[in-house]
């Protein structure tokens, strides 16, 4: 488990152009006032919990509940392992849309909050689409365009975090002294949880110039549940 907070003036290298690395509103826009973009880093994960485990089930020869012969071949020697990860949400920026260069030509100044930050999370909008804002219309009204000389407000909001559990069930049969047969069943994203990625919102979905789609998610951080089986003979 960890807790951290990272601040930066921008999370992209200054040598790249505006189309690399999702660099809008992340590179320094006003060289006379670079601190205007100081905010938490694009990669700031405030809270994160990681865990892994291996459990040798207490069934079979030499175990608490001993089995022998065919019963041991079927029930004994199984091992359960897994990985768990949970994190709080990643920060994101709301932009003005394409063609708005308040301070620096080709480097778009991000939008600026007029008041309290709108509620974020994972919600369903009026069109049935997943959205980072509980009320997209109110969120659109909460921002204004940057004025000349302003760089905008970077990483003022946070999206959903990440959650995932992977696990594997395995067993090895010893056929002879030098030959083994191993079986493994692996499941990724056991709970089939869905977490959306605010970092992949398009300019239409992440800018106040297109209020009808503001905050709409387009991709996920997680993948649907996947299972795979493996049988290995070692000699």
Write out the chain in H/E/C secondary structure: CEECCCEECCCCCCCCCCCCCCCCCCCCCCCCCHHHHCEECCCCCCEEEEEEEEEECCECCCCCECCCHHHHHHHCCCEEEEEEEEECCCEECCECCCCCCCCECCECCCCEECCCCCCEEEEECCCCCEEEECCHHHHHHCEECCCCCCCCCCCCEECCCEEEEEEEEEEEEECCCCCEEEEEEEEECCCCCCCECHHHCCCCCCECCCHHHCCECCCECCCCCEEEEEEEEEC
Residue 17: pLDDT band with limits 50, 70, 90? low
Question: Could you report the per-residue pLDDT of 91-138, keeping only the tens digit for each?
Answer: 888 888 877 888 888 788 889 998 889 999 999 988 899 999 999 989
* pLDDT tens, residue by residue, 155-165: 889 998 899 99
Assigned token pair, 186: 């692996």
108 backbone dihedrals φ, ψ, rounded to 5°: -75, 125
Query: Is the overall model pTM greater than 0.85, yes or no?
Result: no
Q: Which domain holds residue 55?
A: 2-234
pLDDT for 70: 76
Total tally of structural domains belonging to the chain: 1
Q: How many CB atoms lie within 10 A of CB 172?
A: 15
Mean pLDDT across 137-154: 91
* Residue of 57, 53, 35 lying closest to 150 (CA atoms): 35
Two tokens, residue 152: 């905008």
pLDDT for 203: 56
The pLDDT, as a whole number, for residue 13 is: 62
Instruction: Read off the pLDDT of residues 45-87 as tens digits, 9 standing for 90 and up.
Output: 889 999 999 999 888 777 777 777 777 777 778 999 999 999 9
Position 5 pLDDT exceeds 60: no
What is the average pLDDT score of the chain?
Answer: 84
In this prediction, residue 25 carries a pLDDT of 47
Answer yes or no: are the C-beta atoms of 42 and 91 closer than 8 Å: yes
What is the spatial distance between Cα 101 and Cα 121, in angstroms, rounded to a whole number? 29
Taking alpha carbons only, the member of 107, 182, 183 closest to residue 150 is: 107
Residues of the chain with pLDDT > 90, as a percent, come to 37
Report the alpha-carbon distance of residue 111 to residue 20 in Å, rounded.
20
């Amino acid at each position: 488990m960890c807790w951290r907070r990272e601040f930066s003036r921008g999370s992209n290298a200054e040598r790249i152009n505006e189309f690399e690395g999702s660099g809008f509103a992340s590179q320094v826009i006003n060289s006379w006032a670079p601190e205007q973009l100081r905010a938490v880093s694009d990669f700031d994960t405030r809270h994160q919990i990681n865990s892994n485990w291996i459990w040798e089930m207490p069934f079979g020869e030499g175990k608490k509940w001993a089995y022998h012969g065919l019963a041991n071949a079927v029930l004994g020697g199984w091992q359960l392992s897994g990985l768990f990860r949970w994190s709080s949400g990643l920060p994101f920026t709301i932009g003005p849309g394409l063609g708005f260069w308040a301070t620096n030509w080709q480097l778009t100044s991000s939008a600026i909050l007029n008041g309290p930050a709108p509620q974020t999370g994972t919600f369903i909008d009026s069109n049935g689409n997943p959205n980072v804002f509980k009320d997209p219309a109110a969120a659109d009204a909460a921002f204004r365009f940057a004025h000349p000389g302003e760089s905008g407000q970077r990483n003022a909001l946070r999206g959903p975090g990440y959650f995932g559990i992977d696990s594997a069930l395995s067993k090895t049969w010893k056929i002879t002294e030098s030959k083994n047969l191993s079986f493994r069943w692996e499941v990724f994203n056991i709970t089939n949880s869905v977490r959306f990625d605010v970092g992949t919102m398009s300019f239409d979905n992440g800018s106040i110039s297109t209020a009808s789609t503001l905050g709409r998610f387009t991709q996920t951080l997680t993948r649907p549940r996947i299972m795979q089986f493996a049988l290995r003979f070692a000699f």
